[in-house]
Amino acid sequence: MSRKDIYHDTVKKALSAEGWVITADPLYIKFGGAEIYIDLGAEQLLGAEKDGQYIAVEIKSFIGKSTISEFYTAAGQFMSYRLVLAETYPERILYLAVPYQVYVSFFDTQFGRLAIQQFNLKLIVYKEKQGVIAQWVK
């Protein structure tokens, strides 16, 4: 398994440990034509449910060299997925899952906090080694 896939699995198990039922892996979202459908699906969103709450989870490993570059892509995806979900599955709340160290070094900085606020990002912060969720930023 690639490191990226390992993180995917980590988040899945960490959600299960908190009582979430994984309802779709991947969760496909379809909108406005076949091309978008395939590419949106390629990111492998997770779908999960707990006590009647439905979430979609975009899992990011941030294992590349540039955190800010990966953030740009993650943010563009997040906002695109969110607008498609709002049109298609409005009851499902989208979260971006990020590693704890990246949360500390990037998201919990002056720029990161501004971006979370302005883009209304919702985060699941996971500890990849322990395989647990450290924090939900709602």
Q: Which residues bind a second copy (CB under 8 A)?
A: 31-33, 35-36, 39-40, 66, 68-69, 71-77, 79-80, 83-84, 87, 109-111, 114-115, 118-119
Q: Would you say 23 or 67 has its CB closer to a second copy?
A: 67
- Compute the residue count for the chain: 138
Strands 45-50 and 92-99: unpaired
Runs of H (alpha helix) within the chain: 3-17, 34-42, 67-88, 100-102, 110-119
Q: How far apart are CA 104 and CA 17, in angstroms?
A: 23
Nearer to a second copy by Cβ, of 71 and 103: the residue is 71
User: Cβ closer to a second copy: 2 or 118?
Assistant: 118
Distance of closest approach, residue 50 Cβ to a second copy, in angstroms: 28
